[in-house]
């Protein structure tokens, strides 16, 4: 329902009719053209139509998946299954029994779940409210991702591995991209591959950043380009330039979206045949561009949240028609057992915008590629290898997926028409003094940017500020120190230093004049107090990487009892800790950022590594409030409320260490 519009404004979808005495009117979930179109296609048997339509008219259930490495994910799963699931069975609300959560049988390792409950139940029922609080905390901590069930399928079929170069052509809002990043990091904190997330809309690109930043991956690059004309990415190795061909590409293309009508009520009002007909060419262009950027032996997934064959099988067939035996559809019938699906179709009807049935011979302005393949083509194309998921099969949205593999390529495949390159600007040469002597830094100007966009400027590892950090935190030589960058016009480390993977540094430096970069890098060092030995602290975002490379007395062993003190006290004094060994080490260390390493007693649970500010008389755990609450619940079973804060302790010490408050993450 939309808010009241002004009397002189054009009435828009969902707006209240002021002639209706101020009452809200419910949107009618019906569309005669949609029903006529899909009944004629006969994809849904007549006996199942009413159930299919009724499902499309009901609310989409809440689904989520548990993320992280195996130990971490299993710990979160165990908490959900032991502390929440038993309490959600046989729950009665207003005289009705509420369905308990069920796992998605086709998602690996029981890590994806579905809750078919309304917001009213979640808000008013005590047990469901507790589960909602658990989900919110774990989502904030990055341990859970809320995502529509069918949206999880395409990334699973891409089979991303840590060394893969991955492109997501139409990434916003980012749930599938997050899944790709998680796969990249599934067996390694420091994968050698990367994920490039692209979206054509600048605003949606920045929304994408908001969604993906919580994953803290130095192997992620967000860019802003029209996927139909995605530029070739240049890299340089040993003085030789070449172009990137990707191991994995996801083309989840713009579509008419009738698979989303359970959550997007606009579809009921706006759906018409012209939507699919108008998008067909754009969808094909994105798919064929992806195929040109795919390496031999690589895999590409084409997907839509539409059931319309003009947007699905017709696009796939046209690609197979144009590429011949250089590509093939992959048979995924043995993948994701438990997923109820239908095969792709090789025959369908085409209607024009006026709902008139058309043929190839009498097609008017409709493109020939919108029509079904010939009998001979159908035998060769194997469109039955495509996947169709209908809403009523397992109470989900609707989705279409096709998986391609590339059998061959020519130089022509990889070199295609590009948008014209900007004329390169003059370079800026800068000389900087270091302990090791003068270093000359050359910075090329990038593409013209909006006033609010920040540049990406790499700084040498011998920069005096970085050298302080390497020494202070005992960072070993296995950590690649040459991939640090800043995002300010001066190119100097003044407030934040970021780090990216080596492969992404190569891409950023080699494509400043041809790509529009939106986001890359995780925060490595953040400026803190200037009156201490090292004015930089290690940011929490980079700890999953840095914990493997710090050989320093500033990494202190800590017991779970001491951790509990840090979690429940805002600024515990040294006297609050009962561990004399820990207190002795804290007193010996200079003021600044340190790290506590907590070994868990259970071999099935993940060890912890957390940042702490070490003051002259007290310490402070530097994690966000939501992360504090998540750790309290996960480690100690202590429940908190949404607005609850850490309990203030030792006000004198808090005043003395007042500057430390700005270091809270």
Q: Please indicate if the annotation marks 130 as binding a ligand.
A: no
* Dist CA 14 CA 2 (whole Å): 5
CB 515, CB 447: distance < 8 Å: yes
- Residues whose CB is less than 8 angstroms from the CB of residue 121 and which lie 6 or more positions away in sequence, other chains included: 93, 98, 128
List 305, 370, 469, 558, catalytic entry: 305
CB 67, CB 183: distance < 8 Å: no
Structure tokens at 206: 């920045």
* Dist CA 55 CA 51 (whole Å): 6
Preceding omega of 561 cis (within 30 degrees of 0): no
Q: List beta partners, residue 431.
A: 440
- Positive or negative, the Cα torsion across 231, 232, 235, 239? negative
CB atoms within 10 A of CB 149: 25
CB 223, CB 516: distance < 8 Å: yes
Site of tokens 């790509």: 515
Task: Work out whether strand 387-389 and strand 342-343 pair parallel, antiparallel, or are unpaired.
Answer: antiparallel
Q: Residue 292: name the closest of 242, 225, 221, 228 by CA.
A: 228
Task: Work out whether strand 220-223 and strand 294-304 pair parallel, antiparallel, or are unpaired.
Answer: unpaired
Structure tokens at 492: 């100097």
- Please, where are the H alpha helices in 151-304? 153-158, 175-184, 202-212, 266-270, 273-292
Q: What is the DSSP letter of 472?
A: H
Length of the chain: 665
CB atoms within 10 A of CB 581: 13
Q: Please indicate if the annotation marks 270 as binding a ligand.
A: no
Q: Please indicate if the annotation marks 175 as binding a ligand.
A: yes
Q: Please indicate if the annotation marks 176 as binding a ligand.
A: yes
SS3 of 364, please? coil
**DSSP-derived secondary structure for 29-85:** ---HHHHHHHHHHT-S-GGGHHHHHHHHTSPPPEEEEE-SSHHHHHHHHHHIIIIIG
Q: Residue 641: name the closest of 655, 654, 628 by CA.
A: 628
Q: Please indicate if the annotation marks 579 as binding a ligand.
A: no
305 is catalytic: yes
Which burial class, exposed, middle or buried, applies to 426 when counting CB atoms under 10 A from its CB (0-12, 13-18, 19+)?
exposed
Q: Which long-range contacts (CB under 8 A, 24 or more apart) does 626-633 make?
A: 626/137, 626/140, 626/141, 627/140, 627/141, 628/567, 629/137, 630/137, 630/138, 630/140, 630/141, 630/143, 631/563, 631/567, 632/567, 632/568, 633/79, 633/134, 633/137
Q: What is the DSSP letter of 303?
A: E
Q: Report how far apart the first and last C-alpha atoms of the chain are (Å, whole number).
A: 38
CB 174, CB 200: distance < 8 Å: no
Quote the distance between the C-alpha of residue 60 and its chain's center. Answer: 21
Q: What is the largest CA-CA distance in the chain?
A: 88
Q: Please indicate if the annotation marks 226 as binding a ligand.
A: yes
Active-site residues, by number, are 305
Where is the binding site for S-adenosyl-L-methionine, in residues? 170-176, 199, 226, 252
Where is the binding site, in residues? 170-176, 199, 226, 252
């Amino acid at each position: 329902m939309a808010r009241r519009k002004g009397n002189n404004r054009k009435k828009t979808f969902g707006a209240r009719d002021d002639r209706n005495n101020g009452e809200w009117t419910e949107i009618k979930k019906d569309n005669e053209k949609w029903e006529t179109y899909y009944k004629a296609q006969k994809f849904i048997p007549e006996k199942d139509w009413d159930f299919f339509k009724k499902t499309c008219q009901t609310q989409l259930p809440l689904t989520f998946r548990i993320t992280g490495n195996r130990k971490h994910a299993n710990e979160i799963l165990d908490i959900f299954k032991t502390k929440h699931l038993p309490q959600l069975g046989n729950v009665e609300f207003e005289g009705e029994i509420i369905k308990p959560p069920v796992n998605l049988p086709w998602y690996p390792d029981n890590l994806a779940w579905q809750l078919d409950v309304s917001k009213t139940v979640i808000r008013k029922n005590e047990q469901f409210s507790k589960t909602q609080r658990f989900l919110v905390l774990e989502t904030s901590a990055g341990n859970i991702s809320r995502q529509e069930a069918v949206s999880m399928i395409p990334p699973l079929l891409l089979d991303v591995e840590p060394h893969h170069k991955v492109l997501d052509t139409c990434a916003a809002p980012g749930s599938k991209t997050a899944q790709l990043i998680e796969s990249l990091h599934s067996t390694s904190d420091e994968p050698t591959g990367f994920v490039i997330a692209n979206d054509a809309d600048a605003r949606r690109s920045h929304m994408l950043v908001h969604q993906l930043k919580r994953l803290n991956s130095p192997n992620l690059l967000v860019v802003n380009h029209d996927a139909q004309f995605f530029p070739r990415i240049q890299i340089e190795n040993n003085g030789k330039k070449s172009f990137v061909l990707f191991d994995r590409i996801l083309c989840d293309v713009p579509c008419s979206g009738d698979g989303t009508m359970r959550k997007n009520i606009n579809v009921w009002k706006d759906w018409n045949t012209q939507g699919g007909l108008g998008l067909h060419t754009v969808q094909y262009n994105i798919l064929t561009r992806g195929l040109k950027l795919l390496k031999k032996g690589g895999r590409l997934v084409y997907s839509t949240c539409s059931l319309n064959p003009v947007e699905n099988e017709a696009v796939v067939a046209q690609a197979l028609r144009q590429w011949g035996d250089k590509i093939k559809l992959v048979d995924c019938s043995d993948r994701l057992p438990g997923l109820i699906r239908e095969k792709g179709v090789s025959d369908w009807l085409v209607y024009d915008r006026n709902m008139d049935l058309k043929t190839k011979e009498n097609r008017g302005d409709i493109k020939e590629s919108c029509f079904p393949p010939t009998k001979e083509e159908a035998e060769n194309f194997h469109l039955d290898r495509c996947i169709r998921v209908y809403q009523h099969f397992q109470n989900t949205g609707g989705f279409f997926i096709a998986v391609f593999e590339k059998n061959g390529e020519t130089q022509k495949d990889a070199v295609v028409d590009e948008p014209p390159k900007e004329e390169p600007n003059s370079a800026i040469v800068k000389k900087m003094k270091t302990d090791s002597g003068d270093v000359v830094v050359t910075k090329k100007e990038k593409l013209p940017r909006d006033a609010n966009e920040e540049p990406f400027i790499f700084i040498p590892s011998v920069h005096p500020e970085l050298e302080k950090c390497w020494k202070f935190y005992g960072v070993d030589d296995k950590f690649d120190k040459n991939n640090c960058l800043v995002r300010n016009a001066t190119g100097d480390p003044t407030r934040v230093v970021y780090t990216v993977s080596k492969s992404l540094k190569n891409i950023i430096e080699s494509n400043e004049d041809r790509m529009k970069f939106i986001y890359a890098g995780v925060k490595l060092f953040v400026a803190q107090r200037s009156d201490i030995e090292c004015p930089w602290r290690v940011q929490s975002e980079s700890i999953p990487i840095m914990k493997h490379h710090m050989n320093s007395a500033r990494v202190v062993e800590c017991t779970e009892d001491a951790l509990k003190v840090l979690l429940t006290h805002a600024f515990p004094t040294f006297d609050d800790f009962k561990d004399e060994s820990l207190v002795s080490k804290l007193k010996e260390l200079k003021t600044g950022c340190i790290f506590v390493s907590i070994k868990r007693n259970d071999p099935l649970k993940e060890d912890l590594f957390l940042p702490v500010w070490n003051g002259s008389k007290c310490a402070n755990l530097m994690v966000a409030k939501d992360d504090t609450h998540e750790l309290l619940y996960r480690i100690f079973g202590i429940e908190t409320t949404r607005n609850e804060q850490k309990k203030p302790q030792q006000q004198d010490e808090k005043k003395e260490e007042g500057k430390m408050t700005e270091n809270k993450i």
